[in-house]
Amino acid sequence: MKVCMIAEGCYPYVVGGVSSWIHSIIKLFPNIEFNLITIVSDRNISGKFAYELPVNLTEVHEVYLQDVDWVGNRKTKKNRIRLKKKEVDALRSLVIGEDVDWMTVFRIFDRKNFSINNILMSPEFLAITKDYYSLRFSDITFSDFLWTLRSIYLPLFFALKCVPPKAEIYHCVSTGYAGIIGSKALSIYPNSKLLISEHGIYTREREEEIIKAKWVQGIYKTIWIEQFRKMSKCAYYFADLVTSLFEQAHSLQIELGCPEEKAIITPNGIVTKNFEGIPMKAVDDPYINVGAILRVTPIKDVKTMINAFYYAHEKQPKLKLWIMGPDDEDPDYAEDCRDLVKALNAENIVFTGSIRTTEYIGKMDMTILTSISEGQPLTILEGFAAKKPCIATNVGNCHGLIYGENDTFGDAGIVVPVMNISEVSNAILRLANHPELARQMGENGYQRLMYKYKSVYMEETYRKIYKTLTEMSNVVYTEEPFVLPHRN
């Protein structure tokens, strides 16, 4: 059996979160051959892998969303794209409409020697842009509108141009551009099946990014957001099954257009035996250690963490903050964080860079996560495996992990509002000044982990899903089936 995993902006280039999940899934199934289509911004990152690839990951295909269109010359008549009326209508539905004729769109991009430049510069695309402009945007400068629209569709067209390798299952780790490639694969290989596993809800995450972005202004934010919504609806339509990590995400998928009969909840899991016998805090360690295992990027809001720790440390000098994880994904932000530490003249803050989690997490008294967006963070579960309580912002499933969902294990930490320095600081002090409370919360988290979030539970769920999908593809795979709804 062959599974083609499709991921955007993560594995195998950056560590943590979704990347760790993909790596673990591939390693959990050594008897399955995996291919990987990995979507990145441009060729500068090509081949710069942060992981040693598992032996059953046999091929890696890179798709660049910002690239040079190497095929054809848009100035020659020979290479001009000639679209039939149905194809023009499909392109119009993609740009202007809600009900996109995706199958025809896929066929447009299946042509040999297809040039993205030529279609973006074609009379047909210009005419569609003029119609769109007249309908909704006639109060802005047309030339700006035209070039913005081309910039919006350029990355989508590069995704549409991708020719996926043949596989029995296409497993997309988000909707968006990954979902588009997975959906297109079914137009080429109609007996194959499509599985979407969302960690965060792609559409909502992109909306938040666009709203906050400085590089896109005014009405153009709306156009970007609408396009991302169309892409996610495409993936939901073509998917045979759509998974989410927790109830709130499940409900949001349905709200955004995923048929309810396709959507199921599959919680994350970690390999708990990896945390057996790990180094623990030394008896003579004088510090109260706060561990933040994360990528030093804006979405983790490390600056709020630093400020909150600074105020907590003024009241409890024994506190020490360990910021553990790679700082090369956004070097400017990482440098800003270091500059903030210097400006505050803050003491007891250590940047370790990339670490092996099991070598550090046992030495912590608590873990902390001040993200502005998350799915179901593995770092919280890893802390639980070491019996450490967690302070986390109320994003993603942090509330469910810490306070529980339909269980009686009790609080496993403290949930705080996003970007609230005072609340984060108070939470640090509460756990620091009440070690018995922190110990009990750590034990509660460990019990919750063992009850629901072990990797063996996740492995069994995906084994059943893969089995059922392969049976639907007429592929023999000997495991117990999973009840699965059919694509409409």
What does the pLDDT look like over 103-155, one tens digit per residue? 999 999 998 878 899 899 999 999 999 999 999 998 899 999 999 999 999 99
Instruction: Judge contact between 124 and 83, C-beta under 8 A.
Output: yes
Q: Which CATH number fits domain 2-67+162-265: 3.30.70.380, 3.40.50.2000, 3.40.47.10, 3.40.50.11810?
A: 3.40.50.2000
The per-residue pLDDT for 329 is 86
DSSP 300: G
Extents of the domains making up the chain:
2-67+162-265, 77-149, 272-452
H or E stretch covering 18:
helix 17-28
| Structure confidence by residue, pLDDT tens digits, 308-351 | 999 999 999 999 999 999 998 899 999 999 999 999 999 999 99
| Structure confidence by residue, pLDDT tens digits, 79-110 | 567 889 999 999 999 999 878 999 999 999 99
Q: What is the DSSP string of 170-211?
A: EEESSSHHHHHHHHHHHHHSTT-EEEEE-SS-HHHHHHHHHH
- Residue 233, number of CB atoms within 10 A of its CB: 20
Instruction: Judge contact between 233 and 255, C-beta under 8 A.
Output: no
pTM for this structure?
0.87
The per-residue pLDDT for 17 is 82
> Is 272-452 in the same CATH topology as 2-67+162-265?
yes
Which tokens belong to 138? 């006639």
The per-residue pLDDT for 67 is 86
The per-residue pLDDT for 361 is 97
**For residue 400, is it left (φ>0), alpha (ψ between -120 and 50) or beta?**
alpha
Give the chain's residues under pLDDT 50.
74, 76, 475-488
Task: Quote the distance between the C-alpha of residue 69 and its chain's center.
Answer: 27
**Interatomic CA distance for residues 94 and 84, integer angstroms:** 15
The per-residue pLDDT for 409 is 97
The per-residue pLDDT for 486 is 41
**Average pLDDT over all residues of the chain:** 92
- Residue 74, number of CB atoms within 10 A of its CB: 16
**Coil vs helix vs strand at 64:** strand
- Cα end-to-end span (Å), the chain: 25
The CATH homologous superfamily to which domain 272-452 belongs is Glycogen Phosphorylase B; (3.40.50.2000)
Instruction: Judge contact between 91 and 105, C-beta under 8 A.
Output: yes
**Interatomic CA distance for residues 473 and 432, integer angstroms:** 55
The per-residue pLDDT for 224 is 93
The per-residue pLDDT for 71 is 59
**Interatomic CA distance for residues 406 and 400, integer angstroms:** 9
**Interatomic CA distance for residues 37 and 119, integer angstroms:** 24
**For residue 396, is it left (φ>0), alpha (ψ between -120 and 50) or beta?**
left
User: β-strands 288-293, 33-40: how paired?
Assistant: unpaired
